């Protein structure tokens, strides 16, 4: 009886040690690796948040150029609400479970492309350009380009959104597009911010 008890105790100890080892190893995997292993999309929101965090630590100004209905304006801004400046970019994020199978994905070492032909999706294409090959970190992004199209029987909106980055820091951003409403003249616009 004592021999059986000793063997059972030894087996139980081995089993517990094995489970401890397995769970210990899995807990060493960084949480960001666990969370992103299944996704093929670019984390645009995370990228923008990262840029805002960097910009708010630096004393930057932006020269903002606007062209609307042929009228040009330019201003220098020191106090910047970056969430507001990037509002169109935040709204273009396609990194959601609902959109996972609705974009065709092409990836090369320095460029990611996401495309769709579905009429009800406003973001038609997103391109992410990387500075170095095989490095898809936020710090290695050099350009984000987004093409949007929103169309129905009453209007058609087209927008091209671009963010340019140099060595991990925002260099410029722009939103260029047009709005064509039935019975009204087509309006073209451009908003560009250059960071200094």
Share of the chain above pLDDT 70, in %: 80
Confidence of residue 10 (pLDDT cuts 50, 70, 90): very low
The helix (run of H) or strand (run of E) holding residue 127 is strand 123-130
Comparison of pLDDT for 18 and 129, the residue scoring more: 129
Torsion angle of C-alpha atoms 119, 109, 141, 194, degrees rounded to 10: -70
The string of DSSP codes covering 5-32 is HHHHHHHHHHHHHHHHHHHHHHHTS-HH
Amino acid 27: pLDDT: 35
Amino acid 36: pLDDT: 38
CA-to-CA distance for 51 and 67, rounded, in angstroms?
A: 25
CA-to-CA distance for 126 and 161, rounded, in angstroms?
A: 9
Q: What is the mean pLDDT of residues 48-67?
A: 96
**Placement of tokens 């105790």 in the chain:** 9
Q: What is the mean pLDDT of residues 22-41?
A: 42
Query: pLDDT (tens digit, 9 = 90+) per residue, 71-99?
Result: 999 999 999 999 999 999 999 999 999 99
Amino acid 39: pLDDT: 60
Query: pLDDT (tens digit, 9 = 90+) per residue, 146-182?
Result: 999 998 889 999 999 999 999 999 999 999 999 999 8
- How many residues make up the chain in this entry? 196
Q: What is the mean pLDDT of residues 57-81?
A: 95
Judge whether residue 13 has pLDDT over 80: no
Comparison of pLDDT for 26 and 152, the residue scoring more: 152
Three-state SS for 145? Answer: strand
Q: 2 to each of 7, 135, 173, how far by Cα in Å?
A: 9, 60, 77
For residue 27, which phi and psi values (nearest 5 degrees)? -75, -15
Three-state SS for 179? Answer: strand
Comparison of pLDDT for 22 and 44, the residue scoring more: 44
pTM of the model: 0.78
The mean predicted confidence, pLDDT, of the chain is: 84
CA-to-CA distance for 93 and 95, rounded, in angstroms?
A: 6
Strand partners, 144: 128, 163
Amino acid 195: pLDDT: 97
Amino acid 120: pLDDT: 93
Judge whether residue 31 has pLDDT over 60: no
């Amino acid at each position: 009886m004592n021999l059986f008890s000793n063997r059972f105790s030894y087996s139980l100890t081995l089993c517990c040690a094995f489970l401890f080892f397995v769970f210990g190893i899995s807990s060493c995997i960084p949480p960001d690796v666990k969370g992103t292993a299944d996704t093929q999309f670019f984390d645009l929101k995370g990228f923008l948040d990262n840029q805002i965090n960097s910009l708010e630590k630096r004393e930057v100004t932006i020269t903002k150029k606007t062209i609307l209905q042929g009228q040009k304006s330019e201003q220098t801004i020191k106090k910047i609400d970056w969430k507001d400046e990037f509002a169109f970019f935040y709204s273009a994020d396609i990194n959601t479970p609902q959109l996972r199978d609705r974009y065709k994905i092409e990836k090369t070492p320095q460029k990611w492309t996401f495309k769709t032909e579905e009429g009800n999706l406003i973001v038609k294409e997103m391109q992410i350009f990387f500075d170095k090959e095989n490095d898809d970190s936020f710090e290695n992004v050099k350009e984000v380009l987004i093409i949007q199209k929103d169309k129905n029987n009453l209007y058609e909106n087209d927008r091209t959104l671009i963010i340019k980055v140099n060595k991990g820091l925002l260099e410029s951003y722009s939103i260029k597009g047009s709005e064509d409403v039935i019975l009204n003249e087509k309006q073209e616009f451009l908003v560009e911010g250059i960071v200094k």
